[in-house]
Amino acid sequence: MTIEGRDDTAQARIRLGMVGGGEGAFIGAVHRIAARLDDHYQFVAGALSSTPEKAMRSGAALGLDPKRTYGDFEEMARRERRLKDGIEAVAIVTPNHMHAPAAAAFLKAGIHVICDKPLTTTLKEAKKLAALAEKSGLVFCVTHNYTGYPLVRQAREMVRAGELGEIRVVQVEYPQDWLTENLEATGQKQAEWRTDPARSGGGGCIGDIGTHAYNLADFVAGQQVAELSAELTTFVKGRRLDDNVQVMLRYANGARGLLWASQVAPGNENGLQLRVYGDRGGLHWRQDNPNYLYFTPFGKPTQILTRGGAGAIAAANRVTRIPSGHPEGYLEAFATIYTEAAAAIRAARTGAKVDPAVNFPTVDDGVKGLAFIEAALQSSRRNGAWTKLG
């Protein structure tokens, strides 16, 4: 167990700001808990809403200094860079269309970025942002949070170590049911912006959760998708973006994949699951009970690998906080992304090398996500034609 030393630190905590995440938001609070859980950050500034009064009210509710509660992210970037104890990193948790301009503003201000996904609303914009990030030399973390689960990391390492042999088949899915009806028509805020092309980009379900599924498969299977054939469907009348996504994947090594994401599958809450099969074994992991990983070496009984338990390996144990049998969940996995980014940000303070074990999704993963979305949109428009990823 590596809990001591993970949650606590003698080194000064990282000063963190936030863009978005005010009143009525969902993911902002998740980011704040994630930042706090291992005690590597202190939250000191925010542009929490695009509506100024709401921004002020949200800042007050969260105990921010009113002087560091900003009406917009540009002002925040401009002023924080000048403060002696200005923020070192910013979390961007707005609707998708604001990710790129906000991230660019903070990169230009020399501030590290932790940005929600999908990275941007277009691949072009994503690539531009990635170039800017690279030039800046700053840390740029994209919160593909499911890669923070210890057993997802274990799965990845087992694949890399060859325990599955050559990868042949990848089955990944992310079904939900919350958009089974026309929820956006009721004014529900989350539904509204996530089904609005102006704020979400051209992908609905595929951007919101399809990219998570894609990222998870990419992270674990470690294979490059060469081309895909996609069928995007909108089932709910009046909805402006896709709410069900089927994608067939061809990997560069010859493996085949199927990705299914849906927001209209009653009985599924956040049913992300991944199965990977090679010529020597198979793996199965589900987010709704994430402390167990099913591993079958071909021809032998399936083993239940538990987080922190017998068979858990170093890559999983270094991001594990509590003993096996005591479940960790979504917030802990999210916190791990923040804690990994913190290691990189602290290293940047002194120019030290980042520990090679540190692992978090970067702007490049964000670009991959947009390449996936755009290829899928294009394929679907072209009646499922096999389409290469940009």
Q: Give 9 or 122: the residue with its C-beta nearer to a copy of itself.
A: 9
Q: Give 124 or 382: the residue with its C-beta nearer to a copy of itself.
A: 382
CB 129, min distance to a copy of itself, A: 27
Return the DSSP state at 357: T
Q: Give 207 or 278: the residue with its C-beta nearer to a copy of itself.
A: 278
- The residue within the footprint of a copy of itself, chosen from 49, 94, 176, 362 (CB under 8 A), is 176
Secondary structure (3-state) at 22 = coil
DSSP string over 120-151: -SSHHHHHHHHHHHHHHT--EEE--GGGGSHH
Please state, in angstroms and as integers, the Cα–Cα distance from residue 70 to each residue in 33, 49, 151, 316, following that order.
21, 9, 39, 39
Q: Give 109 or 241: the residue with its C-beta nearer to a copy of itself.
A: 241
Q: Are 343 and 354 in contact (CB under 8 A)?
A: yes
CA–CA dist 156, 170 (Å, integer): 13
- The residue within the footprint of a copy of itself, chosen from 50, 122, 180, 378 (CB under 8 A), is 180
Task: Write out the binding residues for a copy of itself, residues 365-384 only, by CB under 8 A.
Answer: 383-384
Q: Are 138 and 354 in contact (CB under 8 A)?
A: no
Pair of tokens at residue 215: 């990222």
Q: Give 51 or 302: the residue with its C-beta nearer to a copy of itself.
A: 302
* Locus of tokens 């932790």: 114
How many residues bind a copy of itself (CB under 8 A)? The answer is: 100
Q: Give 61 or 252: the residue with its C-beta nearer to a copy of itself.
A: 61
Pair of tokens at residue 165: 């042999």
Query: CA-based Rg of the chain, rounded to a whole angstrom?
Result: 20
Q: Are 335 and 32 in contact (CB under 8 A)?
A: no
CB 124, min distance to a copy of itself, A: 28
Task: Write out the binding residues for a copy of itself, residues 130-159 only, by CB under 8 A.
Answer: none
Residue 23: is it exposed, middle or buried by C-beta count within 10 angstroms (0-12/13-18/19+)?
middle
Number of neighbouring beta carbons within 10 Å of residue 65: 11
CB 25, min distance to a copy of itself, A: 8
Q: Give 167 or 363: the residue with its C-beta nearer to a copy of itself.
A: 167
Question: What is the chain's length?
Answer: 390
Q: Give 88 or 125: the residue with its C-beta nearer to a copy of itself.
A: 88
- The residue within the footprint of a copy of itself, chosen from 19, 20, 36, 116 (CB under 8 A), is 36
Q: Give 145 or 200: the residue with its C-beta nearer to a copy of itself.
A: 145
- The residue within the footprint of a copy of itself, chosen from 37, 155, 205, 371 (CB under 8 A), is 37
- Should residue 222 be labelled a site residue for a copy of itself when binding is judged by CB under 8 A? no
Task: Write out the binding residues for a copy of itself, residues 316-355 only, by CB under 8 A.
Answer: 321-332
CB 130, min distance to a copy of itself, A: 28
- Should residue 246 be labelled a site residue for a copy of itself when binding is judged by CB under 8 A? yes
CA–CA dist 178, 188 (Å, integer): 11
Number of neighbouring beta carbons within 10 Å of residue 171: 17
Q: Are 17 and 91 in contact (CB under 8 A)?
A: yes
Task: Write out the binding residues for a copy of itself, residues 255-314 only, by CB under 8 A.
Answer: 256, 258, 260, 262, 264-271, 275, 277-284, 287-291, 294-306, 309-311
Q: Give 126 or 209: the residue with its C-beta nearer to a copy of itself.
A: 209
Regarding beta strands 89-92 and 14-19, do their DSSP bridges make them parallel or antiparallel, or are they unpaired? Answer: parallel
CB 54, min distance to a copy of itself, A: 12
CB 253, min distance to a copy of itself, A: 11
Cα atoms in the Cβ-side hemisphere of radius 13 Å centred on 194: 23
CB 256, min distance to a copy of itself, A: 5
Residue 236 dihedral angles phi and psi, to the nearest 5°: -85, 125
The interface mask with a copy of itself, positions 41-80, x = CB under 8 A, is -------------------xxxx-----------------
CB 128, min distance to a copy of itself, A: 32
Secondary structure (3-state) at 356 = coil
